[in-house]
A = this chain, B = another copy of it.
Amino acid sequence: MNTYKSHVEKSECPIAHALDVIGDRWTLIIIREMMFMGKHEFGEFLEAPEKISTNILADRLKKLSSLGIIDFIEHPQNKTKKLYYLTDIGVGLIDVMVEVILWVDKYLSTAPSPIIENIKNHTPEFIEKTKKNIQSWNEKNL
């Protein structure tokens, strides 16, 4: 046994600051739904296969807002609704999310799917396309 000298010095690894976002199942699910599924409404998030419950969803939406990762506006046609959307900080998480997808595919590989093939072979294009989708929604609605 022989511990190598780490090339990263103590407390210089800032992953800690992301633990509240990345290290939480529900925030990740919400971000996934917004980022890749184009969802914006409370009721849409409830439809995610993980069956998030309403109190948890409300809590995490608040948390993500206070962290500056998402924000919301009033629904233009329905005063009782809000439209949640990713801020630039939130959109910035796409690189993390894509790496997660690639990792799952590479090592935990579930059934092969054409969309994963596409993401794998055209990663930058996929990221750009996703960002464009998000931004075009923002331009129309904000």
User: Is the pair B18, A108 in contact by a Cβ cutoff of 8 Å?
Assistant: yes
Dominant SS at the A interface?
helix
Residues in B with CB closer than 8 Å to A25 are 19, 23-24
Interface size class of A (residues with CB under 8 A): 35 or more
How often does this chain occur in the complex, in copies?
Answer: 2
Partner of A113, one of B12, B24, B75, B88: B12
Q: Which of B10, B24, B38, B39 contacts A5 (CB 8 A)?
A: B38
**Chain A residues engaging chain B, CB cutoff 8 angstroms:** 1-19, 22-26, 28-29, 32, 36-40, 49-50, 75-77, 83, 88-89, 92-93, 95-97, 99-108, 110, 113, 115-116, 129-130, 133, 136-137, 140-141
